[in-house]
Amino acid sequence: MKFLDYAKVYIRSGAGGAGCVSFRREKYIEFGGPDGGDGGNGGSVWAEAVPGLNTLIDFRYQQHFFAKNGQPGMGSQRTGKSGEDIVLKVPVGTEILEEDGETVIADMVEVGQRVLLAQGGNGGWGNLRFKSSTNRAPRNANPGQPGVERTILLRLKLIADAGLVGLPNAGKSTFLASVSNARPKVADYPFTTLVPNLGVVGIDGREFVMADIPGLIEGASEGRGLGDQFLGHVERCSVLLHLVDGTSSTIARDFRTIVTELEAYSPKLAAKPRIVALNKIDALDARTLANRRRSLEKASGGPVHLISGATGQGVRDLLRALWREIEPSRIEKQESAPKWEP
C-alpha cells in the first residue's frame, strides 16, 4: 500500500426534500382538508477515525463525496425519505483542515471519534403544517434547505511517542529495525527511507511507538532533498531521538544542520525534549570515538549516548532514557485529553 499523508476532498451534504401541497379527496367525505407531508432531511457528511489505516491513499482515487438529497413529501401525510449519510473513514492522527490549510476543524486522535463535517438540509414542511383555524385550506409548502458544500484538507500526522531524526544514512532505519517489529528498508546509501515508518518498541515490560522519518539535509526547509514534508509526523511525539552518524568527520556540523532545520520548520518542534545519540560506534576505534563524543557533547551542550544499531551496544540504556521522557508526557496527555461523545 502506498503512503499518502495529504489529500484534498470535496464534500456536499444532501438538500432537504420539498414539502407537498395536497388535499384529501375521498368519496363520501365532505371536508377532506390538507394532507401534504414534509420533505425528508438531506444526508450529512461525517468523518470517523478507524483502526487499521495508516495512509490517506483511498482519497487519491476518490475526492468527491456527495450525500443523498431528501425525497419530497407526498399526499396522505407521507413524509419523504431522508437521504443517507456519508462517512469518511480516516486513520487515527488525521487533522481535518479548512481549505486555507490553517484552520483546524477536527483532530482525530482516538479510534471511533466522529465529527460532523456538513449538516444535511432540513426537509420542507407540507401544507398540513400550515393548517389553522383561520386557514383551513393552505396552499403553500416550504422548500427543503440546501445542503452544505465545502472543500477540506486531510493531513495525517502519525501517532508516536518518540521520533527519529537525523541526516540521511545516520542509521535510523537500522536502529528502528533492531528495537522494534518494524522492517524498514536498510541499505548503504542515503535516502533509503522515503516514507515514515512506525515500530512498537518494548523495554522493561513497557511499550511505546517510535516513528522514523526520511532523513533531512541542509536546506530541507527550502525544499531540498525530500524537504521537511514529513516532519509533521513527529510533531505529536513526546521526545525526539537525534541520531548522529559516528563515522562522519563533521560531527558538530551534522548535529547543527538538523537543529537548524527543526527550528526553521517549527520552534515548537525544536523545543521538544531531545536525546542525542552517536550511532555506529562499532566502526570506530577508542581514540576516534572519544574525540567525536567530545565534539558532539560540545555542539549539543548535553550528554551523548553511544550506541550501535547494528550490534545493539548501548541500545537498552538509550531506550530507558527515552521511556523516562515519554512516561510523564503520556500521563499528562491522558489526564488532559478532551472527552468526546460518540
Dist. CA 19–CA 123, nearest whole Å:
7
Ligand-binding annotation for 22, yes or no, is no
Ligand-binding annotation for 172, yes or no, is yes
Ligand-binding annotation for 193, yes or no, is yes
Ligand-binding annotation for 170, yes or no, is yes
| Residues 308 and 281 sit within 8 Å (Cβ to Cβ) | yes
Ligand-binding annotation for 175, yes or no, is no
Ligand-binding annotation for 29, yes or no, is no
Instruction: Note the residue count of the chain.
Output: 342
Ligand-binding annotation for 213, yes or no, is yes
Integer CA distances (angstroms), 47 to 85, 152, 341, in order: 11, 11, 14
- Grid coordinates standing for 251? 560531527
Ligand-binding annotation for 171, yes or no, is yes
Ligand-binding annotation for 291, yes or no, is no
Ligand-binding annotation for 310, yes or no, is yes
Ligand-binding annotation for 268, yes or no, is no
Ligand-binding annotation for 167, yes or no, is yes
Ligand-binding annotation for 312, yes or no, is no
Ligand-binding annotation for 166, yes or no, is yes
Whole-angstrom Cα Rg for the chain: 29
Ligand-binding annotation for 225, yes or no, is no
Ligand-binding annotation for 191, yes or no, is yes
- Grid coordinates standing for 200? 512498537
| Residues 13 and 64 sit within 8 Å (Cβ to Cβ) | no
Ligand-binding annotation for 192, yes or no, is yes
Ligand-binding annotation for 47, yes or no, is no
**Nearest-10 crossing angle of helices 251-265, 286-300:** 30
Please list, in sequence order, all residues whose beta carbon lies within 8 angstroms of the beta carbon of residue 338, skipping any fewer than 6 positions away. none
Ligand-binding annotation for 126, yes or no, is no
Pairing assessment for the beta strands 149-156 and 162-165 based on DSSP bridges = unpaired
Ligand-binding annotation for 280, yes or no, is yes
Q: Which residues are annotated as a binding site for Mg(2+)?
A: 173, 193
Q: Which residues are annotated as a binding site for GTP?
A: 166-173, 191-195, 212-215, 279-282, 308-310
Q: Which residues are annotated as a binding site?
A: 166-173, 191-195, 212-215, 279-282, 308-310
